[in-house]
Amino acid sequence: MGLFDRYFYGKAGQGDYTVEQMPTTRKQLFFTTLKVRLSSMVGLNLLHFLWMIPLFIWLYIAMNSAILYLTPEDAVKLPNAPEAMVEAYNTYTEATANYDAIVNAQKYLDENNAKLADIQNNIQTLLAGGEVTRQVAVIEGGDATTEKVTLEQLRQEESDLLAVISENENNLAKAGDEELLKTLRTIVSENVNTFNLYSRQLLNGNILTSLLIMIPLIALCAVGRPGMVYVLRNWARDEHSFVWQDYKQAIKENWKQALGIGILNGLSFLLVFVAYVTYGQMAENSWFFNIPQALMVVLLGLWWMANELIFPMIVTYDMRFRDIIKNSVIIALARLPWAFLILLGSVALPLVILWFIPMPFSILVFILIYALFALAFKGFIEASFANSCFDRYLNPRIDGAVVGKGLYKPEEEADTEEDIAAEAKPDRYWEHNTK
C-alpha cells in the first residue's frame, strides 16, 4: 500500500516550495511539472493508447505488405503482379546475367581453371591409391564433418566444370563485340524501366488503400485525444487533474470537434499523397510541377504543426470549428521555429527506429515505445507549447483570462510593454470565449 500511496500522493515529509524555488519561466515550469508528473504519464499514455490499438495494428499490416513491393524478387511473386511486369523482370534478369558473363568472362575463366586444376589433382591422387576427403555440413548452417570423395564424383565435377569453362571461353570471344554489349545494356535499361513502372503503380495502389483505411482509424484516435490533452494541459499549468474523471469529461464535451479534426487528419495524408504522386508524374515532362509537389509537403507539415495547437485549443476555448483551425494555423506560423522543432522531433523518433532496427522488429519497438510513454510525453511538450502560445496571443485579449498559470510573478511586477500592447487590440481580434 505504501508504494501506491507514494505513487498517487507523493513522498511524505517533503516541504512545500519556497518562493525562490517556484518557477518563473516557461523552461523552469516545464521541467518542474515534468519531474512531478513523469510516472503518472505512463498510466495516462496506456489509457490513451487503447484508442490507437486499431491504427497500430493496421500500420503493422500495411508496412509488412508494402515491404513486399520493395524487392523485385518478392514483387513478381505477388498475386496481383501484371504479366508484363513479370516478363520484364525475367528479361532484364537474363540480359543482366549475359552482360555480366561477357564483361567478366576472363575473371570467371581464371577462377574455373583453378578449380579444374584442383579436381584433376584429386583425381590423380585417387588413381595413385590415395584418399581424398572434404568438409561438408550435416545440416546447412550446422557443424561440418568430413566425407570421402569418390572417383565418380570427381569425374562428374570435372565434366561439368569443362562445360562451364567452354562457355566462359565463348563469352570471352564476345567481350570485344561493342554492338552486342550495347544491345544488352539497352534491353536491361528498357525492362528495368518497365518493371519499375508497374512496381511503382502497385506500391502506390497499396499505399492509397492503406491511407483510405487509416482515415476512420485516425478519426477514432482523435475522439479520445481531448481527454489526454485536457489532463496534460492542466499538468503543464501545474494544476491538479483527476485523470479518469477529467479524461472522460473532456471527451464527452469535445468529441464532435475532435472527430472532425481526426477526419481532416486522415484526409491530409491521402490528399497530399495523391497530389504528390500526380505532380511527380507531371514533373517528368516539366520541372515546373516540382514546385506544387514540394508545396504539398510544406502544407502537410504546416497542418501537423497546427495540430500541436488544435487539440489544446479545443479543450481550452469555446470556439467555432473553423476558428479553431484558423487560429491554430496563424499561431503555428507566428511561432514557426518552435512548432517546426516539435514536429521534427515527432517525426525523427519513428525514422530513427526504422533506420537502426530491422523490420519487422522496428514496428514492434515503435509500438512498445508509443504504448508506454511517447504519446503522453509528446502531448505534454505540445501542451506546454500551447499554453505559452495562448498566453501570448489569446489570453491577454479575453476578459478575466489568467495569463501565466503555473508561473510565479511578484505582486509588484508591472505589466510588460507586450501586455499593454495586447490589451490595446480590438475586442474581436480573436473570436472566442474561454471554457
Q: What is the pLDDT of residues 38-91, one digit of tens each?
A: 889 999 999 999 999 999 889 888 888 877 777 888 888 888 888 888 899 899
In this structure, is residue 60 part of a structural domain?
Answer: yes
Cell 496571443: give the residue: 393
> Span 18-40, mean pLDDT?
80
- Name the average pLDDT for the chain: 84
In this structure, is residue 392 part of a structural domain?
Answer: yes
pLDDT at residue 185 tops 50: yes
Q: In whole angstroms, give the CA distance from residue 343 to residue 336.
A: 10
Domain boundary among the residues 137, 161, 188 is at 188
Query: Do 207 and 180 share a domain, yes or no?
Result: no
Residues 6+ apart with CB under 8 A from 185: 99
Residue 401: how many other CB atoms lie within 10 Å: 16
Q: What is the pLDDT of residues 379-409, one digit of tens each?
A: 999 999 999 999 999 988 888 788 888 787 7
| Residue 373 burial class via C-beta count within 10 angstroms: exposed 0-12, middle 13-18, buried 19 and up | middle
In this structure, is residue 56 part of a structural domain?
Answer: yes
Query: Do 429 and 358 share a domain, yes or no?
Result: yes
Query: Do 107 and 245 share a domain, yes or no?
Result: no
Q: What is the pLDDT of residues 287-324, one digit of tens each?
A: 898 999 999 999 999 999 999 999 999 999 999 999 99
Q: Provide the pLDDT for residue 435.
A: 58
In this structure, is residue 9 part of a structural domain?
Answer: no
Query: Do 174 and 206 share a domain, yes or no?
Result: no
Q: In whole angstroms, give the CA distance from residue 196 to residue 432.
A: 52
Given pLDDT bands bounded at 50, 70 and 90, which one contains residue 6? very low
Query: Do 149 and 205 share a domain, yes or no?
Result: no
The amino acid present at 392, given as its one-letter code, is R
Q: What is the pLDDT of residues 203-262, one digit of tens each?
A: 888 899 999 999 999 999 999 999 999 999 999 998 888 889 999 999 999 999 999 999
Q: In whole angstroms, give the CA distance from residue 396 to residue 387.
A: 12
> Is beta strand 133-137 parallel, antiparallel or unpaired with respect to 317-318?
unpaired
In this structure, is residue 400 part of a structural domain?
Answer: yes
SS3 assignment, position 349: helix
pLDDT at residue 418 tops 80: no
Q: Provide the pLDDT for residue 257.
A: 95
Given pLDDT bands bounded at 50, 70 and 90, which one contains residue 20? low
Query: Do 57 and 105 share a domain, yes or no?
Result: no
Domain boundary among the residues 188, 212, 237 is at 188
Q: In whole angstroms, give the CA distance from residue 274 to residue 281.
A: 11
The amino acid present at 157, given as its one-letter code, is E
Given pLDDT bands bounded at 50, 70 and 90, which one contains residue 357? confident
The amino acid present at 359, given as its one-letter code, is M
In this structure, is residue 159 part of a structural domain?
Answer: yes
Query: Do 294 and 317 share a domain, yes or no?
Result: yes
CA 114 vs CA 103, 118, 119, 162: distances in Å:
19, 7, 9, 12
pLDDT at residue 421 tops 60: no
Query: Do 176 and 31 share a domain, yes or no?
Result: no
Q: Provide the pLDDT for residue 365.
A: 83
Query: Do 275 and 303 share a domain, yes or no?
Result: yes
In this structure, is residue 100 part of a structural domain?
Answer: yes
Is residue 304 within 8 Å of 328, Cβ to Cβ? no
In this structure, is residue 3 part of a structural domain?
Answer: no
For residue 356, what are the domain limits? Answer: 15-77+192-434
Q: Provide the pLDDT for residue 397.
A: 87
Query: Do 109 and 145 share a domain, yes or no?
Result: yes
Q: 367: closest CA among 26, 34, 45?
A: 45
Backbone angles phi, psi at 136, to 5 degrees: -135, 155
How many domains does the chain contain in total? 2
pLDDT at residue 9 tops 60: no
CA 20 vs CA 16, 17, 190, 354, 410: distances in Å:
11, 8, 74, 45, 11
Q: Provide the pLDDT for residue 10.
A: 45
> Is beta strand 317-318 parallel, antiparallel or unpaired with respect to 433-434?
antiparallel
Is residue 172 within 8 Å of 111, Cβ to Cβ? no
The amino acid present at 87, given as its one-letter code, is E
Q: Provide the pLDDT for residue 347.
A: 86
Given pLDDT bands bounded at 50, 70 and 90, which one contains residue 331? very high
Query: Do 220 and 253 share a domain, yes or no?
Result: yes
Partnered with residue 148 across adjacent β-strands are: 133
What is the DSSP secondary-structure string of 194-244? HHHHHHHHHHHHHHHHHHHHHHHHHHHHHHHHHHHHHHHHHHHTT----HH
Query: Do 62 and 126 share a domain, yes or no?
Result: no
Q: What is the pLDDT of residues 98-115, one digit of tens each?
A: 999 999 999 999 999 999
pLDDT at residue 17 tops 90: no
Domain boundary among the residues 188, 222, 255 is at 188
Omega before residue 360 within 30° of 0, cis: yes
Q: What is the pLDDT of residues 216-226, one digit of tens each?
A: 999 999 999 99
Q: What is the 3-state secondary structure (H, E, C) of 247-273?
A: HHHHHHHHHHHHHHHHHHHHHHHHHHH
Q: Provide the pLDDT for residue 143.
A: 59
The pTM for the full model equals 0.75
Q: What is the pLDDT of residues 141-173, one digit of tens each?
A: 555 678 888 889 889 989 999 999 999 999 988
Reduced DSSP (H G I as helix, E B as strand, rest coil) percent helix, strand, coil of the chain, to 5: 75, 5, 20
What is the DSSP secondary-structure string of 120-139? HHHHHHHHTT---EEEEESS
